[in-house]
């Protein structure tokens, strides 16, 4: 379900409107910068829902989406770009396990207009193999997108165009580990946040 809560001046929460039943288990939700739509990502299988936000903040109708949107494997985060011209979705992929081969990861850019998405770009270096992104965040004043790459313990920076697209080649790639050769048995980059002053980026290591 997708549910809205009112926040009282004291910080107390109370339900606002009826819960909306979703298609399946959601993994992440966010709101566009205009405050007009709720964005929902599903991970298994990957999918997207966009719901209108009513004037009182409650959830309105779901916006129908095209049937031909390209999706990745294991969507993990959905964010509107600051201009609301596009939506970025991180598809994590999966590590190989036993006899099961690796599922490639990818970063998807969708055009966004009146709540409707359209495919713009898929970033998947080496076909997405050896590329397992998890979360992203935006610089507050520059056209920079910071991407947490969970499965390879990396931080990648991409440049965003005025149209909301991403340049496919990264500006920078940094390891998140002091000793990259010793990242096993398990090390995984996690949530990422850019400080409001734009001078620092914080990236959690989950193991």
Q: What is the reported pLDDT for 32? A: 98
pLDDT(120) > 90: yes
Q: How many CB atoms lie within 10 A of CB 153?
A: 21
Determine the pLDDT at residue 184: 63
Measured from the Cβ of residue 46, the count of other Cβ atoms closer than 10 Å reads 21
Summarize the confidence of residues 84-106 as an average pLDDT. Answer: 95
pLDDT of 46 strictly over 90 = yes
pLDDT band for position 85 (cuts 50, 70, 90): very high
Quickly state the pLDDT bin for 119 (edges 50, 70, 90). Answer: very high
pLDDT of residue 185: 63
| DSSP labels, 46-60 | EEEEEEEE-TTS-EE
Structure tokens at 2: 């997708």
Average pLDDT score over residue span 73-101: 96
pLDDT at 27 over 70: yes
- pLDDT value for 188: 85
pLDDT tens track for 157-183: 999 999 999 999 999 999 998 887 776
Predicted confidence (pLDDT) per residue in 101-111, tens digit: 999 999 999 99
Q: CA-CA distance, 87 to 94, in Å (whole number)?
A: 22
DSSP one-letter string for 6-55: EE-TTS-EEE-S--B--SS-EEEEEE-TTS-EEEEEEETTEEEEEEEE-T
Exposed e or buried b per residue across 106-134, where buried means at least 16 C-beta atoms within 10 angstroms of its C-beta:
bbbbbbbeebebeebbbbbbeebeebbbb
User: CA–CA separation, 67 vs 137, rounded Å?
Assistant: 28
Angle CA 162–39–143, to nearest 5: 20
Helix spans in the chain (H): none
Please state the rounded mean pLDDT for residues 103-124.
97
Cβ-contact 106, 121 below 8 angstroms = no
Whole-number CA gyration radius for the chain: 18
- Mean pLDDT, the chain, integer: 94
Selected residue with higher pLDDT from 30 and 187:
30
Q: How confident is the model at residue 21 (pLDDT cuts 50, 70, 90)?
A: very high
């Amino acid at each position: 379900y997708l549910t809205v809560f009112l926040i009282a001046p004291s910080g107390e929460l109370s339900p606002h409107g009826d819960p909306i039943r979703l298609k399946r288990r959601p993994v992440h939700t966010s709101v566009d910068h205009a405050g007009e739509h709720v964005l929902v990502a599903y991970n298994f299988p990957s999918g997207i829902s966009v719901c209108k936000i009513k004037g009182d903040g409650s959830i309105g109708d779901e916006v129908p989406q095209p049937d031909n949107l390209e999706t990745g494997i294991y969507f993990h985060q959905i964010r509107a770009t600051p201009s609301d011209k596009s939506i970025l979705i991180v598809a994590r992929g999966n590590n190989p396990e036993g006899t099961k081969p690796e599922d490639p990861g990818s970063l998807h850019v969708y055009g966004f207009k009146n709540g409707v998405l359209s495919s713009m770009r898929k970033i998947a270096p080496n076909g997405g193999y050896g590329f397992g992104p998890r979360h992203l965040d935006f610089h507050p004043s520059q056209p920079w997108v910071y991407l947490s790459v969970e499965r390879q313990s990396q931080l990648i920076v991409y440049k965003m165009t005025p149209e909301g697209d991403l340049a496919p080649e990264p500006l920078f790639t940094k390891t998140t580990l002091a000793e990259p050769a010793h990242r096993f048995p398990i090390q995984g980059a996690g949530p990422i946040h850019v400080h409001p002053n734009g001078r620092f980026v914080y990236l959690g290591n989950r193991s």
